[in-house]
Structure 1
Amino acid sequence: METPHAVVQPTPKLKRSNSWAYSSRIAPYVFVSPFVISFLLFFAYPVVSTVIMSFQEVLPGQSRFIGLDNYSKLLNPTFYKAIGNSGMYTFWTLAVLIPLPLLIAVILNSAAMKAKNVFRSTLFVPALTSVVVAGTIFRLIFSELDGALANSIFRALGGEAQKWMAQSGTAMMVLVLLATWRWLGVNIVYFLSGLQSIPAELYESAEIDGATAWDKLLRITLPLLKPVTIYVLTISIYGGLSMFTESFMMYNGNRSPKDMGLTMVGYIYQQGMEQNKLGFGSAIGLSLLGITMFFNLIQLKFFGLFRKEE
């Protein structure tokens, strides 16, 4: 008797979906589309609109082209004052917030340093504080009242009460002190990350060759920290020239005696928002963009970022 053979059913073929979501050509564009849309809406469109408005007189409900009139109005004493204040603030923040964090980072990275994580956390905490809150507290500390903390300490040391925010020298000192208190820990973290990426074998070899701590700092640490230093310098230039909230909070508004607290961004806010001169404010903003790019390109060229390494 013959054994019946099992009937083998053919395996059904899976139909390939023709949906665009499964296309290997279209899928990459789908994934990057959120970034592209965000870039176009929140960066490209505002920049293009600002460039167009800088050649216009923008009034409620209407606008008209006026050529270069907004740029010709830039050459005024208030604009020069704002540039001077922003430039001086940037200079002093660079002079403090690059060498000081670097020195502290080297100390924290030392093998002899105890409780490193405690110091790192403590120094980073100010960066988590709102600049509005920090500015308000500093305004109270450096108030011109005799009972203010700064004046109380100054008088205890034999000095006289000062009007800290009404004198150009002390006002700039307070603003730089606020920036130092707030951003010191951030720059320390940047430098620490760079220091920890340097191989320990380099320092050991240098010690065998008789190098001192100063030699190791100059010949190993600083050269290998060049990329981190360039990054910190770049963001510090941007942060210094774009400072606004600190001055606004310290003076409880955008008005200061003899404009000693007026910055470039403050001037944009004053003309564009307070006086409703959006066209003129746009011209100031583009001027600030040009100045920032100029200084950053100069420092990048100076540090050799555009040169091929040997």
Structure 2
Amino acid sequence: MSNGTINTQRNKSNHVVNVKKRIRVPNVLYSQNIAPYFFVLPFILSFCIFFAYPVFSTIIMSFQEVLPGETTFIGLENYKNLWNPTFLKAIKNSTIYTILTLLILIPFPLVLAVFLNSKMMFAKNIFRSITFIPALTSVVVAGIIFRLIFGSQEGALLNSIITFFGGESRAWLNSSGTSMFALVVLATWRWMGVNLLYYLAGLQNIPKELYESAEIDGASTWQKFIYITLPLLKPITVYVLTISIYGGYSMFAESYMLYGSNRSPNDIGLTIVGYLYRNGIEQNNLGFGSAIGITLLLITFIITITQLKFLGMFRKEE
């Protein structure tokens, strides 16, 4: 290799080194103290843009009268007007619906998950798919189907079954008791499979050695369920309970599609979100609708914190 070639390579190497010296990456990007903030920055931005800012704006609007092109501060007037018989009925309907769904959508999926997790159960994947398919169905389609099932005509499916066995047809969606029954059946049909999968995931994470040790000690199936399965599934139960409370109080589309509108006979299907939609969207009263939304947020927040405190989720485990 000639001296000229060697000098040329040295010059190129020196040039690259000089370029690297001139283009220095700031040391701050390699800092172990700052690096975690770059990783959580996307979440912080999305939280501030899509949650914190809308909530803050809604709180401000709840103290205003918002009209097209005009905004007036009216203090607590929206909250004073909020406590009326219609809103109290919406709270009652949402609360009853939430309680009934909790009584069904927590114990029944748990029991079904235990059966599906059993070694003696056959065709497990088929049953899992069958129970989960309703969750993939559009709420619009499901609402229309259930409206036809619980229709007041004699040819409706449920009335046809009742009249076949000698009963009388009835208008299921025109009374508070039967309409709530229809809403709960719709919720059970849609969300049973989702909660079932949550419990199945929890059951499969329980070490089998615990059950084997219990069998050696002579524990029965019921004792293993009470003293092993239920305690170890507590985090799953708390999670399902929390999302079910939120889902119960935020229910709107099911009632809307079941009645075909946001207007039900004597408001028997009116929910808190339905009342918000009626005032904030249909009547274009965004200030009053914001007050309803903030009240709903406080109700769900207080209930959720109370049940988490009651279940001991804020205590540090030893």
1:56 to 54, 64, 70: 64
Task: Output the CA distance in 2 between the equivalents of 1:20 and 1:158.
Answer: 83
Other-structure match for 2:280: 272
Give the counterpart letter for 1:233 in structure 2: L
- Which among 145, 151, 160 is matched to residue 152 of structure 1? 160
Residues in 2 aligned to 1:88 and 1:20: alpha-carbon distance in whole angstroms: 59
CA RMSD, Structure 1 to Structure 2 (Å): 2.2
1:38 shift after superposition = 2.7
| Alignment-derived partner of residue 209 in structure 2 | 201
In structure 2, relative to structure 1, the CA distance for the partners of 1:32 and 1:208 (3 Å cut) is closer
**Under a length normalisation based on structure 2, what TM-score does the superposition of the two structures give?**
0.92
Select 2:290's aligned residue among 278, 282, 293. Answer: 282
1:170 match:
178
Match of 1:24 among 2, 27, 30: 30
1:54 partner amino acid: S
Q: 1:29 to 1:303 in 2, by over 3 A?
A: closer
Deviation at 1:28, TM superposition (A): 6.2
Q: Specify every segment of 5 or more residues in structure 2 that has no aligned partner in the other structure, as ranges.
A: none
Q: Shift of residue 178 of structure 1?
A: 0.3
Whose helix proportion is higher, 1 or 2? 2
Alpha-carbon deviation of 1:22? 9.3
- Between the aligned partners of 1:220 and 1:39, the Cα distance in structure 2 is 38
* Contact map agreement 1:164 1:170 (CA 8 A) in 2: yes
Change beyond 3 A, Cα 1:31–1:147: same
Aligned equivalent of 1:41, options 33, 49, 56: 49
- How far apart, in 1, do the equivalents of 2:40 and 2:244 lie? 30
1:147-184 deviations in Å (ceiling 9; x for gaps): 01010011112211010100111100110000000000
Distance in structure 2 (CA, Å) of the matches to 1:19 and 1:269: 53
In structure 2, what is the equivalent of residue 132 of structure 1?
140
Structure 1 residue identity aligned to 2:290? S
Structure 1 residues 20 and 162 mapped into 2: Cα distance closer, same or farther (>3 Å)? farther
1:75 correspondence with 2:80:
no
Q: Give, in angstroms, the shift of residue 36 of structure 1.
A: 3.4
CA separation of 1:45 and 1:182: change in aligned 2, threshold 3 A: same
Equivalent residue of 2:65, what SS? strand
1:100 alignment counterpart: 108
Check whether the contact 1:21–1:27 (CA below 8 A) recurs between aligned residues. no
Which of 168, 183, 186 is the aligned partner of 2:191?
183
**Is 1:143–2:151 an aligned residue pair?**
yes
Instruction: Point out 4+ residue stretches in structure 1 off by more than 6 angstroms.
Output: none
Query: Distance in 1 between the 2:235 and 2:36 partners?
Result: 32
> What SS does the corresponding residue of 1:15 show, helix, strand or coil?
helix
Aligned residue for 2:315, secondary structure, equals coil
Q: Which runs of 5+ in 1 are unaligned?
A: none
Give 1:42 deviation, angstroms. 1.7
Whether contact under 8 Å (1:243, 1:265) holds in the other structure is: yes
Instruction: Tell me how far apart the structure 2 counterparts of residues 255 and 42 of structure 1 sit (CA, whole Å).
Output: 30
Residue equivalent to 1:91? 99
Identity %: 63
